[in-house]
Structure 1
Amino acid sequence: MTGAQTRSEHVFDATTEAFEKDVIEASLQTPILVDLWAEWCGPCKSLGPILEKLAGEYSGAFRLAKIDVDAEQQLAAMFGVRSIPTVVLISGGQVVDGFAGALPEGQIREFLTRHGIQPADGAEPAAEAEAKPAETPEEAINRLQQAIAADPDRAELKLDLALALMRAGQVEPAQAELDALPANLATDARAVRLRSQLELARALAGAPSLEALRSRVQADEADWEARDLLGVRLLIEGEAAAGLDQFIDILKRQRDWQDGQAKKRLLAAFATIDDAQLVGTYRRKMASLLF
Structure 2
Amino acid sequence: MPTTVPSPYVFDATEANFEAEVVQASFQQPVLVDLWATWCGPCKTLGPLLEKVVDEFNGAVRLAKIDCDKEQALAASFGVRSIPTVVLLREGQLVDGFTGALPESAIREFLSRHVQPNAPAEDAVAAAPAVQETPEQAIARIQQEIAAEPDRAELKLDLAVAQMQVGNAAAAEAELDALPANLAADDRARRLRGQLDFARALKDAPPAAELAARIERDPHDHAARDLLGVRLLIQGDTAAALEQFLAVLKADRTWNDDQAKKRLIAAFAVIDDEDLVGTYRRKMSSLLF
TM-score for both structures, normalised by structure 2? 0.59
Aligned to 1:95: none
Distance 1:188 1:169, change over 3 A: same
In 2, the alpha carbon distance for the partners of 1:223 and 1:81 equals: 41
**Structure 1 position 100, deviation (Å):** 11
Aligned to 2:141: 143
**Structure 1 position 165, deviation (Å):** 0.5
Aligned to 2:201: 203
Q: Is the 8 A contact 2:116 2:186 kept in 1?
A: no
Distance 1:221 1:88, change over 3 A: farther
Q: Is the 8 A contact 1:234 1:242 kept in 2?
A: yes
User: Structure 1: any 5+ residue segments left out of the alignment?
Assistant: 4-16, 22-71, 90-97, 107-133
In 2, the alpha carbon distance for the partners of 1:146 and 1:217 equals: 47
Deviations 1:113-151 (A, max 9, x none): xxxxxxxxxxxxxxxxxxxxx312112112112211222
Percent of matched pairs sharing the same residue:
56
Distance 1:270 1:87, change over 3 A: same
In 1, the alpha carbon distance for the partners of 2:202 and 2:120 equals: 29
**Structure 1 position 237, deviation (Å):** 2.3
In 2, the alpha carbon distance for the partners of 1:73 and 1:243 equals: 37
Aligned to 2:98: none
Greater C-alpha Rg: 2
- Is 1:20 the counterpart of 2:9? The answer is yes
**Structure 1 position 290, deviation (Å):** 2.1
Letter of the 1:20 counterpart: Y
**Structure 1 position 254, deviation (Å):** 2.2
SS for the counterpart of 2:257 is coil
Letter of the 1:137 counterpart: P
TM-score for both structures, normalised by structure 1? 0.58
In 2, the alpha carbon distance for the partners of 1:88 and 1:252 equals: 41
Aligned to 1:190: 188
In 1, the alpha carbon distance for the partners of 2:190 and 2:120 equals: 14
Q: 1:165 aligns with which of 158, 163, 166?
A: 163
In 2, the alpha carbon distance for the partners of 1:260 and 1:267 equals: 11
In 1, the alpha carbon distance for the partners of 2:283 and 2:120 equals: 30
Deviations 1:61-112 (A, max 9, x none): xxxxxxxxxxx65424567559xxx7477xxxxxxxx979944422xxxxxx
Q: Is the 8 A contact 1:2 1:18 kept in 2?
A: no
SS for the counterpart of 1:153 is coil
In 1, the alpha carbon distance for the partners of 2:120 and 2:197 equals: 23
In 2, the alpha carbon distance for the partners of 1:287 and 1:165 equals: 34
- Is 1:105 the counterpart of 2:130? The answer is yes
Q: Is the 8 A contact 1:100 1:156 kept in 2?
A: no
User: Structure 2: any 5+ residue segments left out of the alignment?
Assistant: 11-51, 58-107
